[in-house]
Amino acid sequence: MRIPYFPGCTLHSKAQNFDASARAGARALGIEMDELPEWTCCGATFSMSADSVMGLVAPTRILASAKEAGKLLTLCSFCYNTLKRTNRVIATDAERRRKVTTFIEEDYQGTVQTVHLLEVLRDDIGFDALAKRVTKPLRGLKVAPYYGCLLLRPADEMGFDDPERPTIFEGFLASLGCEVVDYPHKTECCGSFVAVSSPDAARECSARILEVAAKQGAEMVVVSCPLCQYNLDQAQRVVQAGPTRQTRVPVLYFSQLLAIALGCDEACLHLDGHAVDPRPRLANWLEQTSQVTALAS
């Protein structure tokens, strides 16, 4: 399976571990993520302005570049939200479509389906089939999924999963052999861009999420958003998840666990940049992965 891939800005800079581990995991499953040539930033957030179309220009140009394939894969929750909501506008609002496509000089009708890698794993590979491809089952690893805001909201536009009781992350983690930890804060906001203007407020939001997950027995949290990963991870670097709290929970991208479970080369994981080092808890699987890689070479 080959599918056009939009990595977005952060996955080419601060979140290279997300990009590299996803490519490795997908390749192990026979999926080639073909990066779009000469892509630009999607704008990071969906434009809410009804009387201006300039915020739709960048994401529409990205979508149009994948129109022949009819499908576009992305990983970042911000990119996924921006592209999917923009496509909905282009497909349903004739006047704004006319303005945008005239400006970018592209005949694009909103025909591209934006998909997340988790959707590809669920719908194209299948979680049962994924479980059979796992070579390093992560049995005994207690993992809490964290959805955040943008994968699920607004629910009628995203259609990613049930906004109140999502299950796609849980199904994915179970297929890797993980013990899935349920907790009530998995769809709460981590603080998002508030981390720029009011870092203390963002840290408090993240600290609550981590504390609740840890109390439910989570040994690590997995995410699909570079900003969520940053906020949750950095909250523990600065104040250990709060002035009086001792919560220390590694925060990984779901693709890192995917790559480990599929026996990919440890180099794609880039685990040395985490504020809370996940390697002590992952030592058994990482050692096995390294041994398999050495034997294969």
Q: Residues near 74 by Cβ (< 8 Å), separated by ≥ 6?
A: 5, 6, 7, 8, 80, 83, 114, 115, 116
Give the SS3 label for residue 271: helix
What is the pLDDT, as a whole number, of residue 51? Answer: 82
Where is pLDDT greater, at 295 or 56? 56
Mean pLDDT of 158-164: 94
∠ CA 135-136-138 to the nearest 5 degrees? Answer: 140
CA 195 to chain centre: 19
Res 235 pLDDT > 90: no
The neighbouring-strand residues paired with 143 are 180, 220
* Separation CA 10–CA 226 (nearest Å): 7
Pick 2-117's CATH classification: 1.20.1050.140, 3.30.70.260, 3.30.200.20, 2.60.40.10.
Answer: 1.20.1050.140
What is the pLDDT, as a whole number, of residue 239? Answer: 53
What is the pLDDT, as a whole number, of residue 290? Answer: 47
Mean pLDDT of 98-124: 97
Res 127 pLDDT > 90: yes
Res 82 pLDDT > 90: yes
What is the pLDDT, as a whole number, of residue 241? Answer: 45
In the predicted model, what is the mean pLDDT of the chain?
92
What is the pLDDT, as a whole number, of residue 63? Answer: 98
Domain range list for the chain: 2-117, 125-296
Res 115 pLDDT > 80: yes
The CATH topology of domain 125-296 is Rossmann fold (3.40.50)
Mean pLDDT of 216-224: 97
* Separation CA 275–CA 191 (nearest Å): 18
What is the pLDDT, as a whole number, of residue 238? Answer: 65
Res 230 pLDDT > 50: yes
Res 108 pLDDT > 50: yes
Place 291 in a pLDDT band, splitting at 50, 70 and 90.
very low
What is the pLDDT, as a whole number, of residue 297? Answer: 38
Q: How far is CA 240 from CA 68, 228, 245, in A?
A: 48, 16, 7
What is the pLDDT, as a whole number, of residue 163? Answer: 93
What is the pLDDT, as a whole number, of residue 5? Answer: 98
Single-letter code of the amino acid located at 30: G
What is the pLDDT, as a whole number, of residue 288? Answer: 57
What is the pLDDT, as a whole number, of residue 245? Answer: 54
What is the pLDDT, as a whole number, of residue 247? Answer: 65
CB 38 within 8 A of CB 62: no
- What's the pTM? 0.93
Single-letter code of the amino acid located at 163: P
pLDDT (tens digit, 9 = 90+) per residue, 33-80? 999 999 999 999 998 878 889 999 999 999 999 999 999 999 999 999
What is the pLDDT, as a whole number, of residue 79? Answer: 97
CB 36 within 8 A of CB 79: no
Mean pLDDT of 83-90: 97
Q: Residues near 208 by Cβ (< 8 Å), separated by ≥ 6?
A: 185, 188
